[in-house]
A and B are shown apart, each in its own frame.
Chain A
Amino acid sequence: MRLINCGKIMRLLSLPLLVGFLGLLFACKGGQSPAEKVYVPPGKLDSYYAFLSGGHSGQIGVFGLPSGRLIKMIPVFAPDVAIGWGIDEGSKEIMGGYIWGDAHHPALSETNGDYDGRWLFINDTANGRIARIDLKDFVTKEIITLPNVGGNHASPFVTPNTEYLVGATRFSIPVPNRDVPIETYKENFNGVIAFVSVDKNTGHMENAFQILMPPFDYDLADAGKRVSYGWAFFSCYNSEEAYKDLEVEASQKDRDFIAAVNWKAAEEAIKEGKYKEINGVKVIDPQEVKGIVYFLPTPKSPHGSDVTPDGKYIVGGGKLAAVVTVHGFEKMQEAIKKGDFDGEVMGIPILKYESVRVAEVPVGLGPLHTQFDDQGYAYTSLFVDSAIAKWKLGTWEVVDKIPVYYNIGHLAAIHGDTVKPRGKFVLAMNKIAKGRYLPVGPSHPESAQLIDISGKKMEMLLDFPTPVEPHYGQIIDATLIKPELVYPLDQNKDPYAIKSADQARVERNGNRVDVYMIAIRSHFTPNILKFEEGDNVYFHITNLEQDVDITHGFGINFSNVDMQIEPGETKTVKWVAEKPGIYPFYCTNFCSALHQEMQGYIEVASKGSK
């Protein structure tokens, strides 16, 4: 009796047990937990670099993914007193007199439409500039001003072989800038779309040409790729041409525009001399030169203007709509050929909405910006909904949606704006973080969230705070970047470099004093210096180290002088001997067991006493 019962129980249990066991097997095979997906064990490196703009901090954050670890802040438009950015003579010259900038959109250099890991560019919305960072050493090398551009927001968004960086006006101004009544906005103000050329070998930037535009607010851009190579697409709002209460006045029309610019045609026009020079830049006026710019009507105050990896479609994120609008590049070409226009603004033809639009995808509220993966899906950030929508290119159906915390602005996928997206992750850059981190007072950090996109459903993996304020990011396969770990001393071409302690010296020329100094563990040579009141002292310091991570600092007490000098590098800093007295100086960046002993003294004698 008992035996029979046991057998029965076993039989009854066997099926659920088997199912359970198989389920467990499947779950194990099915993948890792979110923690495992982002865990990078001690001593191991991340697989991706994420460059997130630092907004009005004027810097760029370099993060490792998938861990979300902050590795470095690169100072660009703002001083950094640790490194000495904005303090030493070289960086002061690069910063061009400004001490702030609004760093919005990082853009990695591209070859054949994919990131090549050579340079990183970023725009300054505030002072109309673009900076170039060399990824050999992650240092800002050059900042160029784009004349005539008021608030360079839609920038730099490189063309597929880094032929050009683009720039465009957010706040229209008179071109050239002059004193006119603000009330004459419509007549006297203009937007400008700018192209900045990049030297293939050196990365050197130059203002190539600009196009005069109606006084709209140009927002974001993307360069055409593959089939649409040779074009660039700029979203714009405020086609109402308001200048006062934009909040209301600039949101009246159902459709604003994406401006399609044929930059190959613009190059031809420049060659043919069809331009006028304004503030030293060649400017094309579309009222005089046809066939360069067309307007694609796009609902409603569009933000993102993103070209699909195949180059066939332009996706407009209708900020105040509930849809993204997809325009077809081929349809646009046909419409241009047929002259399918619906009026024009300032000589720029407006194409008929119906003849360029391919689809309106109902992604949700407040669509801003779109990135792509390697499986034919698009990911659109939804500011108002606080979510990301995943939708299929071609069928235009929304297949998944995931909430983010809170109010996502931009998002970045791995190589997500190139011709070859890598899939795997998408990074949400959220504007509001309230409650997601330990409270630190009224000013909250911004918040990034890493989302796994490799499965059918998106999966939230990780929160990490970001310094103010990522407006966009670039995520690149880490194997594509190979920075130098020290500067080879024998290749140091700085005119003030010295290669050994016996070349150290002090040279006086009137009240200009040049100090040729070396820093090596754990001393400066010379380390006893005597000046006279009123001397302008230029310290040229060479770090003779050739070992990894042996950075020396140079800080002078009772002054604003501090900087880092990397192994093999020479830097120059100016210090004025303002008041008689004794001024200690020391190595500010921990270098060795005798770092605390690495110091020197400056003696300033009163004028005429010696």
Chain B
Amino acid sequence: MAKDTLTIIDNRTGKSYEIPISLSKRVRILILAAALLIIPGIFLPVWTITLVAPQYPKGIKMSIYANKLTEYNPETGMTSNVPRLINGLNHYIGMHEIRPDEFKEFRWLPFMIIAFSILALLSAIVGKWHFATLGWILFILFGIFMIGDFYRWLYEYGHNLSPQAAIKIDPYMPPVIGWKRLANFTVISLPGTGSILVGFAAILGPIILWLESRQKRLS
């Protein structure tokens, strides 16, 4: 049953290639790189949401980390671990207060990042295609889950509006990525440097596959 090669089919030519089930040295190094790229995700921002308005020309920037969030006001240079300004503004439209202690994610997300880094490290050590591919798929599923989780929070905040709010607005969906206008504010939502690095790590999967099949074709 145990094969020592893996069959790869080239979609364009319809030809199939056999590659050894053991990872080449180059691939192992790339997976190791992925393990290292994931780690900074523990202390770099995962996502940033910036609010810009006429009276906030420099914007108020909320950075979401793996274990906390910060609110930065470029005008004062002050950073706070509770989004005081944004909560103060949101209370006009009756949005639920953003309270960092309500995010259970902050408790386990750093450990998940460490776990996936270790998984990548193990893939590089074990050096088998099956292991590595499984690890990559889990990683991608985790990523999708996190984006879904983020979407759920944003939906909650945009739809769970107090009926007693001074200013009544229609429920709305804040942008997961990109920008959206709400009254006098433009909300800009972008991945943070931590996520960008994690994204590079994730993209290494297809890159490895492409590199390997290309080499096979050439040989």
User: Which residues of A pack against B, CB within 8 Å?
Assistant: 485-486, 488, 520-521, 545-548, 593-594, 597
User: If A593-B92, A594-B92 touch, does A485 touch B75 (CB 8 Å cutoff)?
Assistant: yes
Chain A residue nearest to B85 (CB atoms) is A547
Q: List residues of chain A with CB within 8 A of the CB of B218.
A: none
Q: A547: which B residues are within 8 A, CB to CB? A: 73, 76, 85, 88
Pairs of residues from A and B, 4 with the lowest C-beta to C-beta distance, nearest first: A548-B75, A485-B76, A547-B85, A486-B76
Q: Size of chain B's interface in residues, with CB distance under 8 A?
A: 12
With CB as the reference atom, state the residue of chain B lying closest to A545.
B88
What separation, in Å, do the CA atoms of A148 and B166 have in the docked complex?
61
Report yes or no: A520 in contact with B166, Cβ–Cβ below 8 A. Answer: no
Q: Residues of A contacting B75 with CB < 8 Å?
A: 485, 548
A593 partner residues in chain B, CB cutoff 8 A: 92, 166-167
New contact pairs (15) apart from A485-B75, A547-B85, CB-CB < 8 Å: A485-B76, A486-B76, A486-B78, A488-B78, A520-B88, A521-B88, A545-B88, A546-B73, A546-B78, A546-B84, A547-B76, A547-B88, A548-B75, A593-B92, A597-B166
Q: Bound state CA distance, A594 and B164, in angstroms?
A: 14
When chains A and B are docked, how far (Å) is the Cα of A486 from the Cα of B167? 27
**With known contacts A488-B78, A521-B88, A594-B92, A548–B166 Cβ distance under 8 A:** no
Q: A486 CA to B73 CA in the complex, in Å?
A: 11
Q: How far is the CA of A485 from the CA of B73 in the complex (A)?
A: 11
| List of B residues within 8 angstroms of A594 by Cβ | 92, 166
Instruction: Write out the residue numbers on chain B whose beta carbons fall within 8 Å of the beta carbon of A485.
Output: 75-76
B202 to chain A, nearest CB (A): 38
**Known contacts A485-B75, A594-B166, A546 near B80 by CB under 8 Å:** yes
Q: Are B76 and A546 in contact, CB atoms less than 8 angstroms apart?
A: yes
Residues of A within 8 A of B91 (CB): 521
Q: Closest A-chain residue to B60, C-beta based? A: A547
Q: Which residues of B contact A548 (CB under 8 A)?
A: 73, 75-76
Rounded to whole angstroms, the CA-CA distance of A593 and B92 in the bound complex is: 9
Interface centre among B75, B76, B92, B167 (most CB of A within 10 A): B76
By a beta-carbon cutoff of 8 Å, the part of chain B in contact with chain A is: 73, 75-76, 78, 80, 84-85, 88, 91-92, 166-167
- Chain A residues with CB below 8 A from B73, complex form: 546-548
Tell me how far the C-beta of A514 lies from the nearest C-beta in chain B, rounded to whole angstroms. 26
Q: A-B contact count, CB below 8 Å?
A: 28
Question: What residues of chain B lie closer than 8 Å to A597, measured between beta carbons?
Answer: 166
B56 to A: closest C-beta gap in Å: 9
| B91 to A, closest residue via Cβ | A521
In the assembled complex, the CB of A20 is this many whole angstroms from the nearest CB of chain B, namely 46
28 example contacts (A-B, Cβ-Cβ < 8 A) are as follows A485-B75, A485-B76, A486-B76, A486-B78, A488-B78, A520-B88, A521-B88, A521-B91, A545-B88, A546-B73, A546-B76, A546-B78, A546-B80, A546-B84, A546-B85, A547-B73, A547-B76, A547-B85, A547-B88, A548-B73, A548-B75, A548-B76, A593-B92, A593-B166, A593-B167, A594-B92, A594-B166, A597-B166
**B126 to A: closest C-beta gap in Å:** 49
- Max count, chain B CB within 10 A of own CB: residue among A486, A520, A548: A548
* Interface core residue of B75, B78, B84, B166 (most chain A CB under 10 Å): B78
Taking CB atoms, residues of chain A closer than 8 Å to B92 are 593-594
Minimum distance in angstroms from B53 CB to a CB of chain A:
12
Distance, CA A343 to CA B88, complexed state (A): 75
The answer for the CA separation of A520 and B166 in the assembled complex, in Å, is 15
Residues of B within 8 A of A486 (CB): 76, 78
Q: How far is the CB of B169 from chain A (nearest CB, A)?
A: 13
Q: How far is the CB of B207 from chain A (nearest CB, A)?
A: 45
Within the complex, the shortest CB–CB distance from A197 to chain B, in Å, comes to 34
CA–CA, A546 to B75, complex, Å? 11
By a CB distance below 8 angstroms, the chain A residues around B78 are 486, 488, 546
The docked-state distance in angstroms from the alpha carbon of A545 to that of B166 is 19
Chain A proximity of B26: nearest CB distance (Å): 52
Interchain CA distance A97-B88 in the complex, whole Å: 40
With CB as the reference atom, state the residue of chain B lying closest to A546: B84
> In the complex, what's the smallest C-beta–C-beta distance from A545 to chain B, in angstroms?
7
A545 CA / B167 CA spacing, docked (Å): 20
Specify which chain A residues have a CB less than 8 angstroms from the CB of B80 in the assembled complex.
546
* Chain A proximity of B129: nearest CB distance (Å): 54
CA distance A521 to B166 in the complex (A): 12
Q: Residue on B with the closest CB to A544?
A: B84
A594 and chain B: residue at smallest CB distance: B166
What residue in chain B is nearest A484 (Cβ atoms)? B76
Closest A residue to B71 by CB, please name it: A546
Chain A, residue nearest B80 (CB): A546
Nearest chain A CB to B74 CB, angstrom units: 10
- What is the CA–CA distance of A547 and B85 in the complex, to the nearest angstrom? 7
Least Cβ–Cβ distance between A596 and chain B, in angstroms: 11
Chain B residues near A546 (CB-CB < 8 A): 73, 76, 78, 80, 84-85
Provide the bound-state CA to CA distance between A485 and B75, in Å. 8
Q: How far is the CA of A77 from the CA of B68 in the complex (A)?
A: 48
List chain B residues, Cβ under 8 A from A488.
Answer: 78
Chain A min CB distance to B95 (Å)? 14
Give every chain A residue within 8 A of B84 (Cβ-Cβ): 546
A546 to B78, CA, bound (A): 9
Report the minimal beta-carbon distance from B183 to chain A, rounded to whole angstroms. Answer: 10
A597 to B166, CA, bound (A): 11
CB distance from A383 to the nearest CB of B (A): 45
CA distance A520 to B89 in the complex (A): 11
Nearest opposing residue in chain A for B55, CB measure:
A549
CA distance A437 to B117 in the complex (A): 74
Minimal Cβ-Cβ distance residue in B for A486: B76
Report B-chain residues with C-beta under 8 Å of the C-beta of A521.
88, 91
Q: Which residues of A contact B88 (CB under 8 A)?
A: 520-521, 545, 547
For B76, the chain A residues whose CB sits under 8 A away are 485-486, 546-548
Residue of B nearest to A597 (CB): B166
> In the complex the two chains form, what is the Cα distance from A546 to B72 in whole Å?
11
Question: What's the Cα separation between A594 and B92 when bound, in Å?
Answer: 9
Q: How far is the CA of A450 from the CA of B91 in the complex (A)?
A: 48
Shortest beta-carbon distance from B59 to chain A in Å: 13
Q: Determine the distance from Cα of A488 to Cα of B166 in the docked complex, in whole angstroms.
A: 28
**In chain A, what residue has the closest Cβ to B77?**
A485
Whole-angstrom CA separation of A521 from B76 in the bound complex: 18
Nearest chain B CB to A365 CB, angstrom units: 51
Please, which residues of chain A bring their CB within 8 A of the CB of B85?
546-547
CA distance A488 to B84 in the complex (A): 13
Minimum CB–CB distance for A267 against chain B, Å: 41
In the complex, which residue of chain A has the Cβ closest to the Cβ of B82? A546
CB closest residue in chain B, given A520: B88
Question: Whole-angstrom distance between the alpha carbons of A159 and B92 in the complex?
Answer: 53
Give chain B residues whose Cβ lies under 8 Å from the Cβ of A545: 88
Q: Measured between alpha carbons, how far is A593 from B85 in the docked complex, in Å?
A: 15
